[in-house]
Structure 1
Amino acid sequence: MRFASLGSGSEGNALLVEGAGGAGCVLIDCGFGLREAERRLRALGREPAQIDAILVTHEHGDHVGGVFRLAHRHRIPVHLTHGTLRAIAPIVPAGFDRRSLLRTFDSAAVFECAGLRIEPVAVPHDAREPVQYVLDDGRVRLGVLTDLGHGSPHVVRALSRLDALVLECNHDLGLLEVNRRYTAALKRRIAGQWGHLGNGEAARILASIDRTRLRTVVAAHLSRQNNRPELARAALAPVFDGDPSGLQVADQDNGIGWIAV
């Protein structure tokens, strides 16, 4: 298995995951416009027609804003929870083939897609029925954990014994607190139990899971205003006993290139 990020942050998110030997390819979320998504896919050496499915995490625009145009143009099935579908129903474009392209699932039910075992992970976030994912190709396991307010016991259990993890490091709490552009209410929402992971909470989750097999961690969904790559690295590095070789950071503009799991 390998994965790559098209871009990660509050302006758009998308993660490409490919099974062993290129057997199957799924896109997790797409918060980019159609042309930009196509451009970023081609920069990674993939055509939209090579995507077998899009897995949606939740209804917020930076994750779902480009999903339906991409799926409509290239006839890509979209998998999402029942709650997410209800939340985004008003923005599904007219003419979108719902019958053929929309596939709903229960947030507690494991399913197969494009040769991968997909385990949805229900998360605490201010959305209708949000999930993150663990993907398994029978050899290795990749966890994707962005957009949640805290690491519940359920989340920690789901993320144990992974080989690679994409982990939200949305904000540095100190930078968030002194940001004058954000209202007090917005700061509370971001740092709250149903908001986003700060560097410290991300490190706590990482320290709590079974890391026996974990070799790669990608810090993701960093806020341009409230975080810095070096701060995210500094928070997570101690969990690796100070060894940074397995730690990388995805950014908004360039994402991150292919990483073999």
Structure 2
Amino acid sequence: MAEASLPEAGRLSFASLGSGSKGNATLVSDGETRLLIDCGFTMREAERRLAVLGLHPGQLDAILVTHEHGDHIGGVGPLARRHDIPVYLTPGTWRAGRLGRVPRHHWITPQARFVIKGLEIEPVTVPHDAREPVQFCLSGAGRRLGVLTDLGHPSAHVVEAFRGCDALILECNHDRRLLAEGPYPPRLKRRVGGDWGHLANVQAARLLQGLGLDRLQRIICSHLSEHNNRPELALEALVPLLDGDDSRLMVAAQDEGLGWQTIA
């Protein structure tokens, strides 16, 4: 991923620092507001990846946290402490005790919208094996982005909350056959494939069908398992919903992330 300049003002844009079991972080900006959702990378690695996307951590207005698992929260505390960045998270995530000291933290309530500068954020409760996990819908510049990873199944509540998005970052964690035949021990296979684990490719496709596809300009396959999925399998599961047109589909990779995408 080549170094990039920041998005222009008045357009809702997003990028991925990387997505997968080794670390997750997503940037969202309207050109003036800059939010980081999760940070599962070390502070030094997060700083490096932010620089590739044209951003210094001191330019972040806030870090939003989805839940307390290490691949999402590992770098949040160090980054917030070093650069004095406010952190927004649920009380349950805070009580998990994995964040450490942060200079400023703000409670968020699932389903209760709040505003940071030019962006409106709606935290949405999701089925996942964490203390009080949420995912986010973000609105700004007349557009709406859904960030929807780390959920065990496409519940009716989630489908309803994420309707009407112009772009969607969607978990495609595993292929069910690869998970069943792969190296994970049985207990971990049951956790990943269970109702409180992670979305399989076929579940991601089912969720998309429930949301409707007419308005979606970009669909980003994310949180792909290193052992239990491959990009071509995730895309193969979703392309039939688009009548074979894969121009709206992209993959957020673990190592290279995804460069800035602007919602038209």
Which range, TM-score by smaller chain?
A: over 0.9
Coordinate RMSD, CA, aligned? 0.9
Shift of 1:212: 2.9
Q: Secondary structure at the match of 1:231?
A: helix
Distance in 1 between residues matched to 2:246 and 2:212, nearest whole Å: 18
Looking at structure 2, the residues matched to 199 and 10 of structure 1 have their Cα atoms a distance apart, in angstroms, of: 16
Counterpart amino acid of residue 205 in structure 1: L
The answer to whether structure 1 residue 120 and structure 2 residue 123 are counterparts is: yes
Q: Secondary structure at the match of 2:165?
A: coil
8 Å Cα contact 2:128-2:196 kept in structure 1: yes
Contact 2:119/2:140 (8 A) holds in 1: yes
**1:183 and 1:86, CA in 2 relative to 1: closer, same or farther beyond 3 A?**
same
Distance in 2 between residues matched to 1:3 and 1:60, nearest whole Å: 22
- Quote the sequence identity (%): 58
- TM-score under structure 1 length normalisation: 0.95
* Structure 2 equivalent of residue 164 of structure 1: 167
TM-score scaled by structure 2? 0.94
Q: Structure 1 residues 161, 91: closer, same or farther in 2, change over 3 A?
A: closer
> Out of 152, 173, 178, which is 1:175 matched to?
178
**Aligned-pair CA distance for 1:114:** 3.1
Deviations 1:64-86 (A, max 9, x none): 00001000100100000011011
Query: Separation in 2 of the partners of 1:236 and 1:252?
Result: 20
Summarize deviations over 1:112-137 as a string: whole Å, max 9, x none. 01310000110000000000000000
SS at match of 1:258: strand
1:27 to 24, 28, 36: 36
Whole-Å separation in 2 of the counterparts to 1:67 and 1:90: 10
Aligned to 2:21: 10
Match of 1:235 among 237, 249, 264: 237
How far the C-alpha of 1:138 sits from its partner, in A, is: 4.5
Contact 1:116 1:135 in 2 (8 A): yes
Instruction: Give the alignment of 1:56-205 within 5 angstroms.
Output: 56-87=65-96, 89=97, 91-93=99-101, 96-97=102-103, 101-179=104-182, 181-205=183-207
Q: Which amino acid aligns with 1:13?
A: N
- Does residue 40 of structure 1 match 2:49? yes
Conserved 8 A contact 1:149-1:191:
yes
**Counterparts of 1:77 and 1:84 in 2: how far apart (Å)?**
15
**Comparing 207-216 with 189-198, which one deviates more in the overlay?**
207-216
Please state how far the C-alpha of 1:35 moved relative to its aligned partner.
Answer: 0.5
Q: Is the 8 A contact 1:160 1:211 kept in 2?
A: no
Which has the larger displacement, 216-225 or 106-115? 106-115
**Contact kept? 1:58, 1:84, Cα under 8 Å:** yes
In structure 2, how many angstroms separate the alpha carbons of the residues matched to 1:252 and 1:47? 21
Determine if contact 2:76/2:99 at 8 Å carries over to the other structure. no
Note the C-alpha offset of 1:150.
0.4
Distance 1:17 1:90, change over 3 A: closer
Distance 1:231 1:27, change over 3 A: same
Secondary structure (helix, strand or coil) at the match of 1:248 reads: strand
Distance 1:120 1:83 in 2: 13
2:121 aligned partner, one-letter code: I
Offset, 1:259: 0.4
Higher helix residue share: 1
